[in-house]
Amino acid sequence: MDIFSPVDGSVISQVADTTPEEVADAVSAARRGFDVWSARSPMERGRALRRVGEAMLQHEDELAELEARNLGAPLPSSLAMVRRAAQSFFYFGELADKVAGDVVPVEGDYFAYSKREPHGVVAAVVPWNAPIIFATKKIAPALAFGNACLLKPAPETPLSALLLERLMLESGLPEGVVRVLPGGRATGEALTGDPRVSLIVFTGHDGTGKAIAAAAAGNLVPTALELGGKSAQLVFADAPANRLVEGLASGIFANAGQACIAGSRILVERGAEEDLHRRLAERTRAIRVGDPLAPSTEVGPQTTRTQQEKTERMIRDAVAGGASLLAQAELPDSADLGDGYYVAPTLLADVRPDMEIVREEVFGPVAVLASFETEAEAIAMANDTEYGLAAGVWSTDVARAHRVADRLRAGTVWVNTYGVISDRMPFGGIGRSGYGREGGRAAVELYTRLKSVWTSLHDDEVTRDIELP
Q: What pLDDT score was predicted for residue 335?
A: 63
Under-70 pLDDT residues of the chain: 335, 460-469
Q: What pLDDT score was predicted for residue 468?
A: 56
Active site residues: 226
CA 332 to each of CA 261, 281, 288, 291, 292: distance values in angstroms, whole numbers, following the listed order: 28, 18, 9, 10, 13
Nearest of 72, 64, 69 to residue 342 by alpha carbon: 72
Q: What pLDDT score was predicted for residue 334?
A: 73
Q: What pLDDT score was predicted for residue 465?
A: 56
CA 421 to each of CA 87, 88, 409, 412, 413: distance values in angstroms, whole numbers, following the listed order: 12, 11, 18, 10, 11
Note the pLDDT tens digit of each residue in 37-46.
Answer: 999 999 999 9
Sign of CA dihedral 337, 338, 341, 344: positive
Backbone angles phi, psi at 124, to 5 degrees: -115, 125
Nearest of 231, 268, 202 to residue 410 by alpha carbon: 231
Q: What pLDDT score was predicted for residue 89?
A: 98
Q: Where are the alpha helices (DSSP H) in 146-226?
A: 159-170, 185-192, 206-218
Domains of the chain by start residue, with CATH: 2-227+429-453 (3.40.605.10), 232-415 (3.40.309.10)
The number of angstroms, rounded, from the C-alpha of 412 to the middle of its chain's C-alpha atoms is 13
Contact 99, 127 (CB under 8 A): no
